[in-house]
Structure 1
């Protein structure tokens, strides 16, 4: 090979691996040197031994020559020879420095990348190796669930952390699987746990909306969401966290360090499990509102069907809730939930999971709630049950519990509808007045309970069970019950006249009637029907306040009872539930009643119940004869007294109105042969009612509800006496005559019926004991 260079004045010849150089300073110098030699032969431009003899060929030092040439320093091509380097221009130094920095950065970057990759790999390996098996990761609840059934065995309320049956990608509806992937992570089956494209898109959206790059949209994959649901493998420990809410808040924090750990844990999940297994974890642990964890629990909660039977519309509604469970819950706003489901259906169509025809069909026919979910009835009832039972079986249970109750959904709906109608039609708009309703059977089984005007609530203040208010004249039946049980009669007389008592430490106290009038001689029945105060106080003082207190407390009024003469006028506080229960004792023939709502409690999967209850009737308080007379007296309240607004044609009703001091509380409690219902109205802050008494709006509300309750029942006579004459005043203040005209107690199915031999003996024995130990004891 031959190369020439005119610029530098040299010729290079190469043969095989041996190269010889002939170099001059320049072309012009060479030319001048040659011409200066006069007559002399032109020197050869190549070495004499360019072509060595063949005999020297074996000694050719190819390798040695090549090695020496490589070791020789290279000459600078920019110079004109082998002299000293030309100094760099001062303007070049910044560029040199920048180049050095860039080279240094590059070295640090690729070395750092290697180290980072090794650290990430080690972390992924650690998390993957310490992860538990799949089955143990499907239920992450810190507490168990409580499913509450009505008297017919139908679900009407849920409490605690609900979880349905374990589902997998094979057993769940394919529409649900497709809807989840389409909504949450359409590239789920193609990434390694992280989605760079999704992260970049999220950052772009966040910046365009004026937020930080990591604030708002996170670009999380479905696997990253599972990592967050698992709290990066850290289980809830009550000894470490003050509350479960604090633990959950820590799991969902969005710091940069947390997101980095979440990304590593997501890659570990991808290493440990298959895509379908990761999706299985997600479908069993995702929160879907109303205390539902997992899609099977949500499917049961909203549609009353298992997750395997979901159609595309239902699957889309559930999947649409994942971004904001409370906001898009169909029980919160059905229309908003349906609109969100329509968007999910469109996404399913765009990704090929649903045809155009099916998409249009299910968008036009969106999912609707089940009957139980739509009704949302019995929230106050469920709260009462949860608070009345041991906490370890309800509020703090770690097991899944099923409670069967006494609630009748038809009666519950009738009570809620009556309250809503009266407030809509009879109460001025903007009024802050409240009300409560309790309906129960004669044995104390609560069939309906409403604790306030807002019926679709959970954990709200329950005015039926928690509010203690003055009962007013609704307490008077217990005054007459004590007298009747001591031998007085429904037709005994008492004089309604000015009356005063000296109370030690308080001075003179003179009760007044609500009408400010005096009615002279009145029998017990008339006095109760007109709710006269003076006769009630006189009877109480005659039989003894302790006797009245004993009867009232034995009937179930557990609140502290007043010790003064105002006891007879309902100066004591009581709850609507316990007062209604006391009236149930009158209906059942004089036995005490403990209101109850539970009939059976068992754990999920167990056949044998842990707790059962068949009734709430306790010991006898007054005789059946006394109860029958009192029931008759209370029936006059409805027929001709203060409770006439509650009358229902063809149905016998007995009850009592009540209005507390300054009209702060209005009560109406009454019963038919089938049910007893109590109603309270008032303000939470004790503001006096305007123009409302117990015989007004509460009585009308009672009638509205009872008409619907009795509409499917055959009217039954009350268990009461039926006198055939009108008693006449014989000039005595108080009598205890022979009850002439008493026709006995009719046989009824409501707790009445003529006395049996055993009952007669029981009443006689009670009378003997009272004569020995004193009245009222």
Structure 2
């Protein structure tokens, strides 16, 4: 038994010394294993040591730099993330609004500014369009984190192989990175910093190394802040797609006349194909080129199983085509005129989306365009740089059609409104309007004979007729019909130039008119639009006309117009009796005078030709009972025309246009009065018109005395 309080000995066997063991004594530690001798010689060991040292140095620097970069990218990503608003605020980033122009039938014929058709989302848009965008721009969009190193390296390799810089050309950008560019990395447009929105966007697209580096954290922030579908929604609403379309909804409406939610596979492919070069591949610019690009996109969609075999075959067999409104491409010069004359804050510089209802008649517009094309194709030598312009309006000044040049260039030089050219004899109706208003009659006699007028400060001035001959005594009607210059000067001088100037100004010829006797010969400059409007004043019975094309203007989404018509019939200039007599005189220009090529069988036509010195400008302006039309022809550099007068090609363009305009209509009589002939007491032609060069011979004096005795004149 154990004794209490005593420690119990452990139950272990005593250690026994094994047989044959060494006698007990101090124990020895086991010897350490000897190190293996280093392999290789001293040279190998030396360079191996250097390599290991360099590796440790590089690795140490690399992971430290990587850590710093990761921290910087993380902080930048967090900063960008913290500044990003709700996705709904990112969809319409336009600095300018849009202007949609409608013709008199309520159909859209032109767009200006940046059209935004409305918000679409990746969930509601046509799946064909969503698939086309992903297949074309970023097939791994739903897998990456915003940046695709594989895509960037591949793009750099392609750029270098094509002889460009690594960052020039293909960017290898993901859709997320393209959204970062569209958002300009969060920098808003500031008109105080950028001269124009175009300069701002160019800077945002600039592919510098620094901007590429900033794109990475911004793309990460986008992926962190928004879902993939929200990023795609931003992209679809902000991308520029040509023809002033901002976003796929606007582009679908612009090109196909339907919503982006409804586009078919070939239409979706054409829209997605615009992303690489919107202006170049715009179907309104070159439909075949756009269809060829769409075929490539269709192939990409098929490769990625976005199309069934049936859909693929149908898309290839029936490529997308333009809507009738987009295909028409008509009225561009008219639209430019409306934009230039409307209030800038609601047209050229609008920040709102504006809808303008206009007076444009698409049938008349097409008639004017077809007429010009027909004459230039068939009667103008190939390679000629001669230009022409046409304006057609109603008698109240409502412009129905306008062609500002042979090519329809948006924003181009509009010769119908911007070109100021000498009117030549096309000015003479205003001279004779003043004459009729001051007591002259269509059958009053004036002498077509050599004339010299002494102009104070300039010396003698001797006008000539276009034919360089003289035909003696003629009526005012004959003088107008044959466009005789000397009788026109005599009538002008008899009344006084101020009266001629007053009547012309009040009819709407607002340019500075000549001070000397050459006023009667149309030496002053005017635009085709103003001249046509002045002729409309003759047709409507003698009241001034202010041309207009805008009927109403309102904001899209609002029914209340902000402004209405700004033009129409104004104050009376001459009496209705004088206007109707003048109209009859102008019919004789077409029936028996210089405007015979403008005749329209079955229709009463009144008009006047005009040809300036050296044939630098050729005009024909005239009207039927319903419409007034003006045609100008010349060179932009003011070079002389060869073999062209106002009674030639301009009159033929006028006839071609007006024949199309009145097609299907019943002829209506002109509001004119055919005067009785002749009266026995014409007013005397007084003033500085009697100093013929060389003086009068006896026969001339005898004739003058006899006529003076008969008519009581001088």
Query: Does the alignment pair 1:677 with 2:629?
Result: yes
CA contact (8 A) 2:432 2:582 kept: yes
Q: 1:19: which partner in 2?
A: none
Kindly provide the CA deviation profile for residues 287-313 of structure 1, in whole angstroms up to 9, marking residues without a partner as x.
000111000111111111111121111
The one of 300, 303, 310 aligned to 1:347: 300
- The 3 A distance-change label for structure 1 pair 405 and 47 is farther
Give the secondary-structure state (helix, strand or coil) at the position aligned to 2:400.
Answer: strand
Offset at residue 197 of structure 1 (A): 2.3
CA contact (8 A) 2:387 2:406 kept: yes
- 1:428 & 1:303 partners in 2: Cα distance? 38
Give the secondary-structure state (helix, strand or coil) at the position aligned to 2:276.
Answer: coil
Q: 1:24: which partner in 2?
A: none
- 1:636 & 1:395 partners in 2: Cα distance? 45
- The 3 A distance-change label for structure 1 pair 78 and 44 is farther
Query: Does the alignment pair 1:486 with 2:444?
Result: no
Give the secondary-structure state (helix, strand or coil) at the position aligned to 1:309.
Answer: coil
For normalisation by structure 2, the TM-score amounts to 0.90
- The 3 A distance-change label for structure 1 pair 86 and 184 is closer
CA contact (8 A) 1:655 1:670 kept: yes
Give the secondary-structure state (helix, strand or coil) at the position aligned to 1:432.
Answer: coil
Offset at residue 112 of structure 1 (A): 2.8
- 2:297 & 2:505 partners in 1: Cα distance? 60
Give the secondary-structure state (helix, strand or coil) at the position aligned to 2:217.
Answer: helix
Q: 1:299: which partner in 2?
A: 252
The one of 487, 494, 497 aligned to 1:545: 497
Q: 2:561: which partner in 1?
A: 609
- 1:140 & 1:546 partners in 2: Cα distance? 56
Query: Does the alignment pair 1:512 with 2:464?
Result: yes
- The 3 A distance-change label for structure 1 pair 735 and 90 is closer
Offset at residue 142 of structure 1 (A): 1.3
The one of 348, 353, 378 aligned to 1:400: 353
Q: 2:216: which partner in 1?
A: 263
Offset at residue 371 of structure 1 (A): 1.5
- The 3 A distance-change label for structure 1 pair 710 and 106 is same
The one of 287, 292, 297 aligned to 2:240: 287
Q: 2:536: which partner in 1?
A: 584
Q: 2:593: which partner in 1?
A: 641
Query: Does the alignment pair 1:569 with 2:521?
Result: yes
Query: Does the alignment pair 1:557 with 2:509?
Result: yes
Q: 1:664: which partner in 2?
A: 616
Offset at residue 734 of structure 1 (A): 4.5
CA contact (8 A) 1:493 1:733 kept: no
- 1:441 & 1:324 partners in 2: Cα distance? 42
For normalisation by structure 1, the TM-score amounts to 0.83
Offset at residue 205 of structure 1 (A): 2.2
| More off after superposition, 593-602 vs 256-265 | 256-265
The one of 246, 249, 253 aligned to 2:202: 249
Superposition pairs of residues 179-328 of structure 1, within 5 angstroms = 179-328=132-281
Give the secondary-structure state (helix, strand or coil) at the position aligned to 2:388.
Answer: strand
CA contact (8 A) 1:493 1:735 kept: no
Structure 1: unaligned runs, 5 residues or longer: 1-41, 51-64, 80-84, 737-777
- 1:48 & 1:410 partners in 2: Cα distance? 128
Give the secondary-structure state (helix, strand or coil) at the position aligned to 1:713.
Answer: coil
CA contact (8 A) 1:492 1:735 kept: no
- 2:32 & 2:329 partners in 1: Cα distance? 92
CA contact (8 A) 1:494 1:733 kept: no
- 2:39 & 2:663 partners in 1: Cα distance? 115
CA contact (8 A) 1:521 1:729 kept: no
Kindly provide the CA deviation profile for residues 305-352 of structure 1, in whole angstroms up to 9, marking residues without a partner as x.
111121111111000010111111101111010011111111111111
Number of matched pairs: 668
CA contact (8 A) 2:404 2:414 kept: yes
CA contact (8 A) 1:156 1:372 kept: yes
- 1:621 & 1:544 partners in 2: Cα distance? 17
CA contact (8 A) 1:148 1:155 kept: yes
CA contact (8 A) 1:443 1:617 kept: yes
The one of 385, 402, 405 aligned to 1:449: 402
Q: 1:748: which partner in 2?
A: none
Q: 1:693: which partner in 2?
A: 645
Give the secondary-structure state (helix, strand or coil) at the position aligned to 1:143.
Answer: coil
Kindly provide the CA deviation profile for residues 474-517 of structure 1, in whole angstroms up to 9, marking residues without a partner as x.
00001110011122212222122222211111222222221222
- The 3 A distance-change label for structure 1 pair 733 and 487 is closer
Give the secondary-structure state (helix, strand or coil) at the position aligned to 2:571.
Answer: strand
- The 3 A distance-change label for structure 1 pair 623 and 105 is same
Give the secondary-structure state (helix, strand or coil) at the position aligned to 2:261.
Answer: helix
- 2:251 & 2:527 partners in 1: Cα distance? 36
Kindly provide the CA deviation profile for residues 413-442 of structure 1, in whole angstroms up to 9, marking residues without a partner as x.
111111111111111111111111111100
- 1:357 & 1:86 partners in 2: Cα distance? 71
- 1:487 & 1:236 partners in 2: Cα distance? 65
CA contact (8 A) 1:232 1:262 kept: yes
- 1:719 & 1:87 partners in 2: Cα distance? 119
Kindly provide the CA deviation profile for residues 658-690 of structure 1, in whole angstroms up to 9, marking residues without a partner as x.
001111110000000110000011111111111
Offset at residue 458 of structure 1 (A): 1.0
| More off after superposition, 131-140 vs 201-210 | 201-210
Superposition pairs of residues 469-480 of structure 1, within 5 angstroms = 469-480=421-432
Q: 2:413: which partner in 1?
A: 461
Query: Does the alignment pair 1:78 with 2:30?
Result: no
CA contact (8 A) 1:316 1:345 kept: yes
Structure showing greater Rg: 1
